[in-house]
């Protein structure tokens, strides 16, 4: 049965995991033809692979080392998880146009009958958050500032349409006795305000810059003080700084500063005042609260716990 946050909280503190509670497919499980094409893109003979187990995808992901160098590879066979294959192809289209200042460089794209693969620059960096530091937050804020002035590629879906109805769930929550009862009292008592704010969401997110739409610690690599964002299948076209309200709850949930404490640091880099982004903050909170109560996705166990851990900071 779906659970409200109070039910989860009664079990003790929820630790936010950066990935699903299962192992990704192994390198050797990829079709031989697909592996051969990946090797052609990297060059040299295969030496080893170092799989990455974080993230919510059923694709293979890892650093593949050859006698010529190394690359980060994401690959999915045709008969694996259809959504993962779709997201991989979507990411290919986005990264083909992205500047190297904010995303890894593309070394190869493969899309054939047996499956698809994306071969990327292997960034030698660290994920922030162990622990969170002011330097890392400033690095992330700098990249978000660049992102917020980078025009979106042609053909990318607009946030004003593509983020609906996921980010406008308050009306559904208000009609669901279980979801409504689980809300903190201070939020439940302001439902009429939330419903009013929700109407402004499409106008506030409308714009022409690129949005990553999934910025969190395991999708950030920091090298030499510069943050670059990875994993771009959810990218959209929208207003500057829409990514910020969606990032801060994950920082708080993973032991970093609270959303309220962190926001002024990002304002130093050009982020708008909190009040200007209230429809986005409210919209993301509605998405998390609604999503965390949905049935678990069999191929992505742990996703609902991940969403639940961010829901309370977002509601706050």
Report domain extents, the chain: 27-120, 125-315
**The two structure tokens encoding residue 84:** 């993962």
pLDDT of residue 300: 77
pLDDT of residue 298: 82
Residue 57 exposure: Cα atoms within 13 Å on the Cβ side: 26
Q: Do 230 and 128 touch, CB atoms closer than 8 A?
A: no
pLDDT of residue 54: 64
List C-alpha distances in Å: 13 to 147, 210, 214, 230: 34, 35, 24, 29
- The 3-state DSSP class for residue 164 equals coil
Cis peptide before 165 (omega within 30 of 0): yes
* Digit-coded pLDDT (tens) for 224-244: 999 999 999 999 999 999 999
CATH number for the domain formed by residue range(s) 27-120: 3.30.200
Helix (H) or strand (E) holding 7: helix 5-9
What CATH architecture applies to the domain 125-315? Alpha-Beta Complex (3.90)
- The DSSP result for 174-231, as a single string, is HH-HHHHHHS-HHHHTTHHHHHHHHTTHHHHH--SEEE-S---GGGEEEETTEEEE--
pLDDT of residue 23: 65
pLDDT of residue 20: 46
Total residues belonging to the chain: 316
* Digit-coded pLDDT (tens) for 12-39: 333 455 554 446 789 999 999 999 999 9
pLDDT of residue 32: 96
Q: C-alpha dihedral over 292, 297, 302, 308, to 10 degrees?
A: 0
Exposed, middle or buried by CB within 10 Å (0-12, 13-18, 19+), for 266? buried
Q: Do 151 and 209 touch, CB atoms closer than 8 A?
A: yes
Q: Determine how many CB atoms are found less than 10 A away from the CB of residue 157.
A: 15
Domains 27-120 and 125-315 share a fold: no
- Would you write out the chain's pLDDT as a tens digit for each of its 316 residues? 233 333 333 323 334 555 544 467 899 999 999 999 999 999 999 999 999 866 666 789 999 999 999 999 999 999 887 888 999 999 999 998 888 889 999 999 999 999 999 999 999 999 999 899 999 999 999 999 999 999 998 889 999 999 999 999 999 999 999 999 999 999 999 999 999 999 999 999 999 999 999 999 989 999 999 999 999 999 999 999 999 999 999 999 999 999 999 999 999 999 999 999 999 999 999 999 999 999 998 877 888 999 999 999 999 9
């Amino acid at each position: 049965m779906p659970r409200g946050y109070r039910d989860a909280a009664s079990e003790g503190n929820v630790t936010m995991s950066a990935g699903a509670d299962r192992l990704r497919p192994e390198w050797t499980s990829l079709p031989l033809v697909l592996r051969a094409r990946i090797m052609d893109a990297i060059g040299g003979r295969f030496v080893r692979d170092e799989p990455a187990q974080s993230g919510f995808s059923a694709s293979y992901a890892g650093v593949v080392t050859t006698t010529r160098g190394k690359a980060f590879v994401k690959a999915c066979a045709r008969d694996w998880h259809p959504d993962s294959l779709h997201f991989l192809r979507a990411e290919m289209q986005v990264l083909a146009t992205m500047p190297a200042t904010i995303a890894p460089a593309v070394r190869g794209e493969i899309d054939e009958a047996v499956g698809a693969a994306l071969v990327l620059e292997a960034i030698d960096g660290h994920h922030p958050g162990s622990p969170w530091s002011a330097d890392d937050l400033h690095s992330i804020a700098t990249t978000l500032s660049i992102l917020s002035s980078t025009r979106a590629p042609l053909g990318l879906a607009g946030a004003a349409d593509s983020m609906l109805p996921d980010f406008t769930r308050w009306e559904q929550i208000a009609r669901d006795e279980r979801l409504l009862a689980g809300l903190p009292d201070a939020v439940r008592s302001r439902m009429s305000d939330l419903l009013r704010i929700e109407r402004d969401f499409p106008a506030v997110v409308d714009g022409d810059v690129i949005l990553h739409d999934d910025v969190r610690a395991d999708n950030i690599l920091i090298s030499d003080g510069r943050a670059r964002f990875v994993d771009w299948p959810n990218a959209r076209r929208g207003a500057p700084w829409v990514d910020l309200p969606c990032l801060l709850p994950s920082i708080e949930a993973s032991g970093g500063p609270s959303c309220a404490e962190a926001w002024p640091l990002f304002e130093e880099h050009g982020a708008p005042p909190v009040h200007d982004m209230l429809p986005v903050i409210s919209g993301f909170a509605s998405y998390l609260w609604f999503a965390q109560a949905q049935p678990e996705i069999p191929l992505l166990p742990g996703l609902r716990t991940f969403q639940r851990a961010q829901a309370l900071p977002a509601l706050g």
